[in-house]
Structure 1
Amino acid sequence: MTSIQPWYATPEAPPDIVALLRLGVRPTCLDGASVHGLWTPPHTGTHVYRPRRLTAGLELENTRALRVRRRGGQAVPSGKAQPLVLHGPELRAWPDLDPVPDVQLILEHAGRCLPVVKAAVLFESAMHREMLSRRDVDRIIASLPQCARRPLARVRGDAESGTETTVRWWFESRGVAVRSQVRFPDGRRRMDLLVGESWVIECDSREFHDDPRSYDEDRERDLHLTSWGYTVTRLSWEQVFRRWSQTERMLLAIYRRGEYRKRPRRGEGALVA
């Protein structure tokens, strides 16, 4: 056991977090969100914060550290060490003694640091996982600068993945009518996104494809929807977060054809409220 004031680190302590604590910082924003199990879009830099009383004599501008990444509660490789992205709180001391800040503080930092859509992914994940209530989220958003406050006011808690949030926000920012979690005609399952009357967007939430059963279930969903007269577009995690410029061009090409305005061709394709 080693001492990292004001903590003691056991041999089982996560080494990526211990390394940050030794620098006098704690993970926040995207890195802290990953520890809490929130959806986290890809990012560069390791996001950390420190109270003002610890800044004297700590030159961290050129310091690098591994990003904090979790999948299913387990640490996953995060590649090369990244420059620290320093968040500067107004506090003069740590607000608590937890090595990882609570979700509310993490989202406050994210709302001031990230592009609005990436911040929305974290907010909607916290709501979907019931870590924060709508009232909690509204209170955090109200504390943010107006440039973030106005768009983030439309976050919602029914998105089931970060890819779904990202794609829905893209459509909404263009004034396109899009609905989330619309029921299948059989009433047993839900579509991720429905654009207009008949264009279904299914968003793959998995960065790592290692579940053959899920792959088969996804294709079964697509076949059901197509049989009922819907047009189905399935987007992978990589298409949304790694190859978005190419994906965006193709989505626009499909949208401009206007086929989404047509109702499903067969009567049994009527939507279930």
Structure 2
Amino acid sequence: MDRLLLALAARGGVASARQLASAGCSRHFLESAVRDGLVIRLRRGWFALPSVPVDERRAVAAGGVLTCASALASRKVWVLAERELHVAVAPNAVRSPARGVRLHWSRWPGCGQETSSRDGIRASALHAVACLPEEEAVMALDSVVDRGLLPYDDLIELSSLASAGRRRVFDLVVRGCQSGLETRIRLAAVRLRTRVRAQVPVEGVGSVDNVIGDCLAVETDGRAFHTGSVALEEDYRRTLALQARGFVVVRLSSRQVLHDWPATEASLAGLVRRRVHLWTPSQRRRLQNEG
């Protein structure tokens, strides 16, 4: 029995009956392990350890491996809540997806599976580019880079494998965005055709999430709300320090960015139309004198 469990563990927790047989595990051992609850039968000829994440087990049961947004989320990549399970199947697979499952058939050279139950990061990223709305795909790829799952240059190289109509997603990816909230703000500025910088260092403040134009500092807070006095005091300190340096500060909650986005984006667009994001001539002269 130990041989069976070790053979499964060596393959990431999921293996086919054929793979297990080649490792010296008999059908008798398999059936016994299933009866005892030590091993789970996912579908005909495929087995898993109970420790394998549920979504990965569901993907194998559906005939493939976890991919796209589902595989990225399993790596703590920033993706918006997905109701569907994304599953990569063989290009020649003839399957009708079960309810709540989205199948992916594409394959790319050099972008294989990580395990028998989950796609590698390159394949998962390419599926996300092909599948998700542009903004959500950029959020995910920004997060892939920020989390160190792929170096920026390696990620950008994948653009040659994407369809021509989706390569723009890679053009919008930048280093430094630490959350999908920041990415969404940055892309709003791009749509407004104004300059935007991510994680801008400001003396006496630290890094500012996004600076639109010259001086519109937009800070996004992933916490639902600040209740700790230390966190609140730091927010107040940063805001005052930025204002003292001539910045206009907008601080947004996750709810405003994720769940009330149309109104939030409209407010930001209004600030840009009023040119709040640009230094006044007197501010420019003062900055030049200080420099």
In 2, Cα distance between equivalents of 1:171 and 1:229: 20
Displacement after TM superposition at 1:163 (Å): 1.0
In 2, Cα distance between equivalents of 1:197 and 1:52: 49
C-alpha distance 96-250 of structure 1, shift in aligned 2 (>3 A): closer
C-alpha distance 151-16 of structure 1, shift in aligned 2 (>3 A): closer
Counterpart of 1:173 in structure 2 is 191
Give the SS at the match of 1:101. Answer: coil
Give the SS at the match of 1:218. Answer: helix
1:104 aligns with 2:122: yes
Give the SS at the match of 1:138. Answer: helix
C-alpha distance 209-8 of structure 1, shift in aligned 2 (>3 A): farther
| Unmatched 5+ stretches in structure 2 | 1-38
CA contact (8 A) 2:113 2:123 kept: no
CA contact (8 A) 2:156 2:170 kept: no
Counterpart of 1:59 in structure 2 is 96
CA contact (8 A) 1:32 1:101 kept: yes
CA contact (8 A) 2:107 2:123 kept: no
Counterpart of 1:137 in structure 2 is 155
Equivalent of residue 248 in structure 1, options 255, 262, 265: 265
CA contact (8 A) 1:51 1:88 kept: yes
In 2, Cα distance between equivalents of 1:109 and 1:168: 23
Counterpart of 1:3 in structure 2 is 41
CA contact (8 A) 1:185 1:269 kept: no
In 2, Cα distance between equivalents of 1:258 and 1:147: 33
Q: Deviations over 1:71-128 (max 9, x none)?
A: xxxxxxxxxxxx222211248xx74534221111100101111122211111111111
Counterpart of 1:45 in structure 2 is 84
CA contact (8 A) 1:228 1:266 kept: no
In 1, Cα distance between equivalents of 2:104 and 2:236: 43
Displacement after TM superposition at 1:252 (Å): 1.5
**Which amino acid in the other structure matches residue 34 of structure 1?**
A
**Which amino acid in the other structure matches residue 205 of structure 1?**
G
1:19 aligns with 2:29: no
TM alignment of 1:68-79, pairs within 5 A: none
1:31 aligns with 2:70: yes
CA contact (8 A) 1:42 1:241 kept: no
Counterpart of 1:76 in structure 2 is none
In 2, Cα distance between equivalents of 1:170 and 1:19: 36
TM superposition score normalised by structure 2: 0.73
TM alignment of 1:174-213, pairs within 5 A: 174-186=192-204, 189-206=206-223, 212=228, 213=230
CA contact (8 A) 1:162 1:205 kept: no
Equivalent of residue 155 in structure 1, options 159, 173, 184: 173
In 2, Cα distance between equivalents of 1:185 and 1:19: 50
Alignment RMSD (CA, Å): 3.0
Aligned residues: 246
More helix by share: 2
**Which amino acid in the other structure matches residue 4 of structure 1?**
L
C-alpha distance 144-203 of structure 1, shift in aligned 2 (>3 A): same
CA contact (8 A) 1:229 1:266 kept: no
TM superposition score normalised by structure 1: 0.78
In 2, Cα distance between equivalents of 1:2 and 1:130: 33
Counterpart of 2:30 in structure 1 is none
| Unmatched 5+ stretches in structure 1 | 65-82
Counterpart of 1:72 in structure 2 is none
Q: Which has the higher contact order (CA 8 A, sep 6+)?
A: 1
1:221 aligns with 2:238: yes
CA contact (8 A) 2:65 2:116 kept: no
Displacement after TM superposition at 1:4 (Å): 3.4
Displacement after TM superposition at 1:16 (Å): 3.3
**Which amino acid in the other structure matches residue 96 of structure 2?**
E
User: Percent same amino acid among aligned pairs?
Assistant: 24
Q: Deviations over 1:240-262 (max 9, x none)?
A: 22211111111112222212212
